[in-house]
Amino acid sequence: MFADRAKIIIKSGKGGNGHVSFRREKYVPNGGPDGGDGGKGGDVIFVVDKGLNTLTDYRHRRKFAAEPGAEGSKKKMHGKNGENLILKVPEGTIIKDAETGRVIADMSGENQRVTVLRGGRGGKGNVHYATPTMQAPKYAQPGGEAVEIEVLLELKVIADVGLVGFPNVGKSTFLSRVTNAQPKIANYHFTTLQPNLGVVDLDEGFGFVIADIPGLIEGASEGIGLGHEFLRHIERTKVMVHMVDAAGTEGRDPIADIKAINKELEAYNPELLKKPQVIAANKIDAIYGEENEIIEKLRDEFSDAGIEVYPISAVSGKGLKELLYCVKNLLSTLPQGATVYESEFDPSVKVMSEDPCIVRQESEDTYVVEGQRVERMLGYTNIESEKGFLFFQKFMKEQGILDELKNLGIQDGDTVKVCDFEFDYYE
């Protein structure tokens, strides 16, 4: 199977905790605290690998995690930083948040290396908390939390021209004729099971990339046939070439086929119909005369829409040069470079928004403060000591929690519950 989609879980490294220790040496008075800082957690970094063309590496493994930072140590020794996690993907891969479907990063163009998740910062050792009035701090800062999210990887091939059409109309034969690609060719439907890319080289060094998209049928946008799996690959193309069977070897109506495919493209993404289109009426070597009534009908039907029709034979090569130069002229009028999707989502913002301090009134004279941020702060603060309690009060003020309590109407003597602690409020 052509692996162009994968859903994986990625996790950055947790920051190492700060260390609590004191220098105790013979003949060294007033040693004081000497706990070192924790190491930074590893980042999750996506890198484009030009040698890859599928997402097979992520088909059978689901979880990927960066290395956490090591805890600090005595003698002010810094903990080891966690190793970054490098994930290699083919060019054209789009990284999306699996929950919302929004784009985190598009590994195309200049985005060859993108840091998607940053590791937690290392916690400060107790050496940082020594003051003239608090010379023996017995607490240190814990390391920053790791970030874990589920992402969807989607590969959208980077090609200038998309070759679309019903099965068995000669798309793969055309690709093998005008490029060096060697797709599988046979006289049955759905011979092509994955997108094939080929490079067309024209005069004066001008060239472009063609993507042969597996055959589309009616209902492809709803998952019928193979088309639904590969419609996404058309999104990056700049020009679409509709290939139809002008000889009617299978008794199909080319006009109806083109309209059916455009209907599927519109159902999948209406923006696709805004791309320039060209019709390639293939298999003219199988009909008598220069042209037939089918080609005339195609021109009459689509001339008003500005869509040109080129009779070709992918087998004999007749008409291919004219078609390719038409495509070249269309591409020359369009912006150069691959289409790159803008980032719509920052995982770090999501984590911050999911970590609020919640202040609510439980009863007439009881208020509750809760949230992971408060719990983490209490985890490294000894509020039973005078200095630790002052540190706790400073945190409540800086985080705006005291202001929220006042807005809720708290009065002197009311009770404030914070995790497993209860305090009496006095302004």
Annotated binding residue 286: no
Q: What is the Rg, in whole angstroms, of the alpha carbon atoms belonging to the chain?
A: 32
Annotated binding residue 90: no
What is the residue-wise DSSP string for 289-348?
A: SS--HHHHHHHHHHTTTT-EEEE--TTT-TTHHHHHHHHHHHHHTSPPS---PPP---HH
The enclosing H or E element of 350 equals helix 347-353
Q: What is the rounded distance in angstroms from the CA atom of residue 356 to the CA atom of residue 370? A: 9
Annotated binding residue 251: no
Annotated binding residue 194: yes
Annotated binding residue 353: no
Annotated binding residue 190: yes
Closest CA to 159 of 69, 83, 256, 230: 230
Q: What is the rounded distance in angstroms from the CA atom of residue 227 to the CA atom of residue 261? A: 10
Annotated binding residue 198: no
Burial (0-12, 13-18, 19+ Cβ within 10 Å), 398: exposed
Burial (0-12, 13-18, 19+ Cβ within 10 Å), 315: middle
Annotated binding residue 282: yes
Annotated binding residue 53: no
Annotated binding residue 313: yes
Number of C-alpha atoms within 13 angstroms, CB side, residue 179? 22
Task: Give whole-number Cα distances, 116 to 15, 42, 156, 180, 264, in Å.
Answer: 17, 11, 19, 36, 34
Annotated binding residue 217: no
Annotated binding residue 369: no
Q: What is the rounded distance in angstroms from the CA atom of residue 113 to the CA atom of residue 111? A: 6
Annotated binding residue 285: yes
Closest CA to 149 of 356, 345, 426, 404: 345
Residue type, 85: L
What is the residue-wise DSSP string for 74-99?
A: TTTBPPPPPPPEEEEE-TTEEEEETT
Annotated binding residue 213: yes
Annotated binding residue 284: yes
Annotated binding residue 314: yes
* Three-state helix/strand/coil letters over 210-255: EEECCCCCCCHHHCCCCHHHHHHHHCCCCEEEEEEECCCCCCCCHH
Annotated binding residue 179: no
Which residues are annotated as part of the binding site?
A: 165-172, 190-194, 212-215, 282-285, 313-315
Which residues are annotated as part of the binding site for GTP?
A: 165-172, 190-194, 212-215, 282-285, 313-315
Which residues are annotated as part of the binding site for Mg(2+)?
A: 172, 192
